[in-house]
Amino acid sequence: MSYSVKEIFFTLQGEGANTGRAAVFCRFTGCNLWTGREQDRNDAICRFCDTDFVGTNGVGGGRFADAGTLAGRVRAAWGDRGDGDRLVVLTGGEPLLQADVELVGALHQQGFGVAIETNGTIPAPDGIDWICVSPKAGTEIVQRRGDELKLVFPQEGISPVACEEWNFRHFFLQPMDGPRRRENTEEAARFCMQRPQWRLSLQTHKIVGFP
């Protein structure tokens, strides 16, 4: 299988349970909830995405003929930072439109732990080391187990309480960005205080100016 990737870059994870951890981000093109084009946003299932996942013209991006070639590019992005505790985050868009067991195996051969950030509408393949699901209102969530549930909050049509019986190790509320970010953050913090199963996740990469 070939893979279309928007960008591959080294940074710190900015959200959720792995906040502050060094990682290579591999951002795939395409999503099943929005085309990525602004003219289609109002008609999309997910209307609040803040990520450019269209095309293959980002840093390190391109079309990769096979899993080994893509895994090699991810390894190159890690550079000479040491062999221990390597992490790659497969993201998008929706990475599970492309990420498969062959790619997971190739990344493991390069010494990486493999994390994925998905909207949960496609089952994750075997072998992924860290599954983060960020559900969106109006979709059928089929991936209801994993390591981390990260719910952008508030979303009309999906309540955190309705997700509390899903099988995840960590539950995070992440305030929706935009003009009401401060109010959303305060509301999310109050909710976490009322229902301690949930923890507050902030987009720290935006605070410190990382990609």
50 assigned to active site: yes
Helix (H, G, I), strand (E, B) or coil at 66: coil
The CA-based diameter of the chain, rounded to the nearest angstrom, is 49
What single-letter DSSP state applies at residue 119? -
Q: Which of the residues 15, 26, 28, 49 is marked catalytic?
A: 49
Report yes or no: 75 and 110 within 8 Å, Cβ to Cβ.
yes
25 assigned to active site: yes
117 assigned to active site: yes
Q: Which of the residues 40, 50, 183, 186 is marked catalytic?
A: 50
26 assigned to active site: no
205 assigned to active site: yes
9 assigned to active site: no
Q: Which of the residues 7, 10, 25, 112 is marked catalytic?
A: 25
What single-letter DSSP state applies at residue 31? -
Q: Which of the residues 40, 48, 51, 210 is marked catalytic?
A: 51
The residues that bridge with 118 in the sheet, in sequence order, are 133
CA-based Rg of the chain, rounded to a whole angstrom?
A: 17
163 assigned to active site: no
Q: Rounded to an integer, what distance in angstroms lies between the CA atom of residue 141 and that of residue 110?
A: 31
Q: Which of the residues 28, 29, 46, 163 is marked catalytic?
A: 46
Q: Which of the residues 10, 29, 31, 192 is marked catalytic?
A: 31
51 assigned to active site: yes
C-beta atoms surrounding 120 within 10 Å = 24
Q: Which of the residues 11, 52, 108, 205 is marked catalytic?
A: 205
Active site residues: 25, 31, 46, 49-51, 117, 205
